[in-house]
Amino acid sequence: MIAVEGYQGLRVGVLGLGRSGLATCAALMEGGAEVCAWDDSPEAREKANAEGFGTVDLTKQGTVEGLDVLITSPGIPHLYPAPHPVIAAALAAGVPVDNDISLFFQALENRDEPPKVICVTGSNGKSTTTALIAHLLTVAGRDVRMAGNIGTGVLSIELPGEGGVVVLELSSYQTDLARRLAPDVAVFTNLSPDHLDRHGGMGGYFAAKKRLFTEGAPARAVIGVDEGEGQYLATQLAQSVDDTRVIRVSSGQKLNGPGWSVSARKGFLSEWRGGKQAHSIDLRPMAGLPGAHNHQNACAAYAAVRALGLAPRQIEAGLASFQGLPHRSQLIGEKDGVTFVNDSKATNVDSAAKALQAFPKIRWIAGGLGKEGGIAALTPHLGAVRKAYMIGHSARDFALQLGDTPHEICETMERAVARAAEEAEPGDVVLLAPAAASFDQYPNFEKRGEAFAALVQDLLGR
């Protein structure tokens, strides 16, 4: 745990008592703050009380006005579509509102030799890129901690030792509110529409991501430039075309200008500096990084650790040994020439499109609780789909948008896996890439992916 100093004797409200909220309470109390913890859920309050954090009803009129600062969890709206009542009361009373990411950077300010910090944001690929960066550094012998949106509250970690690195995945909710952002290396993977209700539209969503770079002023910025927003951000940060503080990253484009870039084309990663190729890596044999979207993740991770001084050969060894993350193009197994891949994290059409472009012959399992527009935007990416097997609440709606693509309404994961495996031929990939939320049948995408993996394991006889 990281003790947060600077709040000794102050009354600090903590709104939201999930994983990061409880870690925040502990870190503030360790630093001498008087913590007033609250969550709208009685179960969460009961857990907080059991762990020794006294709860105070921050919804009671006049309570928030007595706080010196309010720390809120990222899942709680602070502006759009409407602020949580406790946050609204804090804003009206002039009480500063902050989050645990900001407290983490504040804690580092008091360290004589703080660790290096790499922060990763973007729409898709954040988790894989974050985990890959941590893996590359670990393989190279560095002391690494990984936290943030990837699953560990940042204030619950122990800081690494000398020469260590903290790698953080940051969502737009986290970057939007943090009053302090000071990474050594910041990574922007890509941008596609998501969480627009929380940011008042696409402009607000991009602005939240951009704060990591404009407010954080990293020594190095790794920017995915396959979309217009990334190109704009890279040019806003660079002082000139050959400014090596900005490392441009692409999957599909050839980047070989006068600056510093890392790109992947036809399965080969290439690093260019000053118009000269510095290194090249064949990504095609690397089972943990299938498809162009993972090659973009590999480029971003390569650039981030190169910025910290890792040698290309060290990075290549780490890329080869990376096993991928669960539910993100995760190889479950193979039988009779048929491969089974779990990409349950593909909860929107953009991430599903990337998965559909990663394999040549696909038996596609999709569906769930569909989002606005359904899967109509996937029409250009269905060329490799031999047949689709639709599940969940939106199965029939999705089927109507498949055009001439062969399909079957299966409704359940059990039937979809059984039918896809029964009809699959050698060389086919049975791919779970739902393009939908999971909440109609599963509590989260992880449980959906676990259900798929368990069914496949039964088929494989494991």
Binding site residue list for ATP: 122-128
Contact 177, 168 (CB under 8 A): no
| Per-residue b or e along 254-263, where b marks 16 or more CB atoms closer than 10 Å to that residue's CB | ebeeebbbbb
Residue 66: count of CB within 10 angstroms of its CB? 13
Chain center to CA of 157: 19
181, amino acid identity: L
Spatial distance between the Cα atoms of 120 and 183, rounded to a whole number of angstroms: 10
Contact 78, 102 (CB under 8 A): no
Contact 120, 174 (CB under 8 A): no
Annotated binding site: 122-128
Tokens of 40: 């709208």
Q: By C-alpha distance, which of 337, 377, 382 is closest to 356?
A: 382
Spatial distance between the Cα atoms of 146 and 212, rounded to a whole number of angstroms: 18
Sheet of 165-169, strands arranged across: 144-148, 165-169, 116-121, 185-188, 220-224, 246-251, 260-265, 268-273, 276-282
Give SS3 for 173: helix
Chain center to CA of 460: 30
Residue 462: count of CB within 10 angstroms of its CB? 9
- Could you list the beta-strand ranges (E) of 325-402: 330-335, 338-342, 362-367, 385-391
Contact 91, 140 (CB under 8 A): no
Contact 265, 252 (CB under 8 A): yes
Spatial distance between the Cα atoms of 339 and 321, rounded to a whole number of angstroms: 20
| Per-residue b or e along 244-253, where b marks 16 or more CB atoms closer than 10 Å to that residue's CB | eebbbbbbee
Sheet of 362-367, strands arranged across: 330-335, 338-342, 429-432, 362-367, 385-391, 407-411
Q: By C-alpha distance, which of 156, 173, 158, 14 is closest to 78?
A: 173
Contact 348, 434 (CB under 8 A): no
